[in-house]
Amino acid sequence: MASIAAFRPTPATAVYSATKAAVRTISEGLRQEVKPYDIRTTLIAPGAVATELPDSINDPDIARAVKASYATSLPPASFARIVAFAIGQPKDVDINEVIYRPTGQVA
C-alpha cells in the first residue's frame, strides 16, 4: 500500500511522499523478482480514505490542511473493494498499480 503522494507530493509532505515513492519502487522491484514463481504484486495508492491519519499530525497548520482535504474522504470499504478486485483477477492478469481517490480530490 502506498498513497497518491507517491505520484504527486504536496507542500509539507516531502518526507511522507518520499516514503510512499520508495514503497512503489520496492513493489515494482519485487514484482520483477517474483515473476518466475507466479507471484503477483499490486501497489494500491489511495487518496483520502477516512482513517486516523488526519488526527495524528502535530503541526496545527498542516493538520488543518489535511483535515480539510479529508472532508470528502472515501469510506474504508473502498479500499477493500480495490483489494478484492485485484486478487479476484484470473491467474493470467497482474494488476500492477491502482491509483484511486475521491472524485472531488484535487491533489
What's the pLDDT score for residue 63?
85
pLDDT by residue (tens digit) across 25-69? 999 999 999 989 999 999 999 998 988 888 888 888 888 888 887
Fold type of domain 4-100 = Rossmann fold (3.40.50)
Name the residue among 95, 73, 70 with its Cα closest to residue 84.
95
Domain spans of the chain, in order of start: 4-100
Residue 75 CA to residue 51 CA, distance in Å, equals: 8
Contact by Cβ (8 Å): 97, 30: no
Q: Which pTM value belongs to this model?
A: 0.84
Alpha helix positions (H), the chain: 14-34, 60-69, 77-87
Which residues are annotated as catalytic?
A: 16
